[in-house]
Amino acid sequence: MAIFFNENSKEFHLQNSKISYIIKILKNNQLGQIYYGKRINHRNSFEHLFKIKRRVLTSCLYEGDLEYSLELIKQEYPSYGTSDYREPAFQIKQQNGSKVTNFQYKSHNIYEGKPKLEGLPAVYVEDNKEAETLEVVLEDELINSQLILYYTIFEDYPVIIRSAKFINNGQEDLTLLRAMSMCCDLPDSNFEMLQLSGAWARETYVKTRKLETGIQSISSTRGSSSTNHNPFIALKRTETNEYLGEVYGFSFVYSGNFLAQVEVDYDNVSRVTMGINPFDFSWTLKTGESFQTPEVVMVYSDKGLNDMSQIYHRLYRNRLARGKWRNERRPVLINSWEATYFNFNEEKIVNAAKASYDLGIELFVLDDGWFGKRDDDTTSLGDWYPDKRKLPNGIKGVAEKINAFGMKFGLWFEPEMISRESELYKKHPDWVMKTKGRNQCHGRNQYVLDFSNKEVVDYIYEAMSKILRDDKVSYVKWDCNRNLSEIYSQAYPPERQGEIAHRYILGVYSLYERLIDEFPNVLFESCASGGGRFDPGMLYYAPQAWASDDTDAVERLKIQYGSSMVYPLSSIGSHVAASPNHQVGRTVPMHTRANAAYFGTFGYEVDLNTLTEKEKLEVKEDIKFYKQYSKLIHDGLFYRLRSPFEGDGNIVSWMVVSEDKNEALLAIYNILLKPNDGYYRILLKGLNPQFKYSISGCDDIFFGDELMNVGFIFDQDFLKNTPNERMGDFMSRVFVIKSTGSHRIKVSRAK
């Protein structure tokens, strides 16, 4: 790992064993992009790679020079208005109304480690030798302002992490209208853009489209990253698949409004920008003030999509998630919601917890309905004190009873929301996010608290910390069940209303940080009606997220498959739910529900009273299996084998392999039974070609190279979990693969 500076040719080369990233100081003292991709040798000059020629109808910077136009140059962090007509990385409005700027190279600094971003989530280092950072300082002398570009490269990860900081040293106020976290001009457009899109109950569906001339983008204006588009895109070569070919990944470590955009110009240069959505955004910088953008994690791989995903998994699992629960096995939990909804009392909860404990479940989570006078979804959000009608001994009383038989206790909160029918609303109607004189939208009969207002955040912190401090709560499910609308804060003047959406999410981050600091042993799970805020920003505070409110095992195959493009299995909240399913009404065998939920955090969301004795025995066995293999599932290398988004999607398969390749789990899901069907063949991945392996349910021993090149061959009947299991739709099986220890087979040769 190294960051080189070629002083004579004014070039920076960020390099490790896998990638190179080369930029240069241009003739006009701005920054240009030379190369980003597979590692190349360092040399004293890369001038021969920089090309420019005269073109018709271009605007040029210098009198008499008809070649030097920024429109023709791949740039690193471009502005608008001085010969480049593509969309810029930033835009600053000055008091004279101009948006033209000229930030030129002033200095740079190269150092070990990686800086923290104040008030923002960010990838971190535990040892400064893990990474090196380049800071490039650019200055606009006319407005006396600085722009600092940050680049971090890791030794062990083929990633570049980028962000930007704006500093106003001048006497006049400046207004940021656009402040993207990164820009990268790639030399061609022979790519397909992959995105993770959907809606409530069908999040993170994998979508691809070929790049075309013009702008293609995904975004959110909902105040959160949203269920509609995850803040991630990948550009893959048209021939790239899961295991072969070149791919660039761009993942935004942020939880609010975002824009991920690719603009293809007439020369087929692809400009990738990612950052806070400039729609309805502005930020006033007074003298001495600064603005730091969130960061983008850029991953390059020449080994296909699955390798890109494994890079994100390792980095986010080990250097984005934090705290006690980063590497610990998460407790197997049961959530009360689908079993009781709002209809419960202390006796019912304690009895349900005891029945759960007897099956091997370790954590009971009391969901919505425990606070204020919350009998339905019309009241009490904001009143974070126990409803003594349901819980006469409070949260402490029910928690102590559940703790007494050796079980942990968890609690649901929705701290960012308020009900009109609540004590908090009566006291502080001014704390609601709303525009004066305008109609207020609501969702789920609730309104949004103004988290841009520190007074609001302080109040919610005190209310939540009192519960956590006094009441033996070891897990918090943090929900957020509606998007922002009528974005306006009474705590800020009119000219700063463009800051509110960003200030809101900074308020959410600050509340998380304060609670984590005080309660480091509490396991936080983020949720926003499922995957409405499932993003890297949340992962920095909560090491797991509820991936979707859709708990149907068949639908979860798509949701979890798509989520795995970026997010480690240890972050994907997944539960075994009721059958027929409460969202889609589908009836799915218990073992298939478990076989899907294994590949995540694993838990239950079911009324145990509805289970047969046979099903309860299954639950016991499933929990035992998960506890045995949870470390492999969470820490192993994940391989996607058969996609639910390709072909007929009827066979879905993935596997997890231990780092030493001695152990693996292979999951196969058959959605619909086909009559008179033949054999299937799946090529396994990640095994040692020289190792011999046994597979549960098989009498044969296989070499790793056989399983990876010839494949695992099976028919539908082989997916039965027991000999007496009846064939039907939605069958699945998880196979345990183990190295047999002896890695040689004697071969006799004919003389």
pLDDT tens sequence across 562-580: 999 999 999 999 999 999 9
Q: What is the DSSP string of 530-599?
A: TBTT-SHHHHTT-SEEE--S---HHHHHHHHHHHTTTS-GGGEE-EEE-SS-TTT-----HHHHHHHHTT
ω into 589 cis (within 30 of 0): no
For strand 159-168 and strand 296-301, is the pairing parallel, antiparallel, or unpaired?
antiparallel
How confident is the model over 679-690, as pLDDT tens digits?
A: 999 999 999 999
Decide if pLDDT at 742 tops 80: no
Domains defined for the chain, CATH in brackets: 80-319 (2.70.98.60), 333-546 (3.20.20.70), 641-739 (2.60.40.1180)
| pLDDT score, position 320 | 98
pLDDT in tens, 467-490: 999 889 999 999 999 999 999 999
The model's pLDDT over 353-395, given as tens digits with 9 standing for 90+, comes to: 999 999 999 999 999 999 999 999 999 999 999 999 999 999 9
Contact 577, 338 (CB under 8 A): yes
The tokens for 305 are: 């999509």
The mean pLDDT value for 641-649 works out to: 96
Is the confidence at residue 280, as pLDDT, over 70?
yes
Kindly tell me if the per-residue pLDDT of 691 is higher than 50: yes
The Cα–Cα gap between 398 and 350 comes to: 7
CA-nearest of 582, 645, 583, 624 to 736 is 624
Partners of 653 in beta bridges: 642, 668
Radius of gyration from C-alpha coordinates of the chain: 27
Spatial separation of the C-alpha atoms in residues 340 and 369, rounded to whole Å: 10
Tokens 């020629």 belong to 53
Residue 748 has pLDDT above 70, yes or no: no
Average pLDDT on 41-67 reads 90
pLDDT beyond 80 at 460:
yes
- Quote the pTM value: 0.97
Judged against a pLDDT cut of 70, whether residue 234 lies above it is answered with yes
Residue 743: predicted pLDDT: 63
Instruction: Name residues whose C-beta falls within 8 Å of residue 166's C-beta, 6 or more positions apart in sequence.
Output: 90, 92, 145, 146, 147, 174, 176, 179, 285, 290, 291
Residues identified as active-site: 479, 549
In this prediction, residue 749 has a pLDDT band, given cuts at 50, 70 and 90, of low
What angle, rounded to 10 degrees, do the helices at 454-470 and 394-404 form?
40
Q: Quick check: 1 pLDDT over 80?
A: no
What pLDDT was estimated at residue 225? 98
- Give me the pLDDT at residue 751, please: 41
* Chain segment 694-736, per-residue pLDDT in tens: 999 999 999 999 999 999 999 999 999 888 888 999 999 999 9
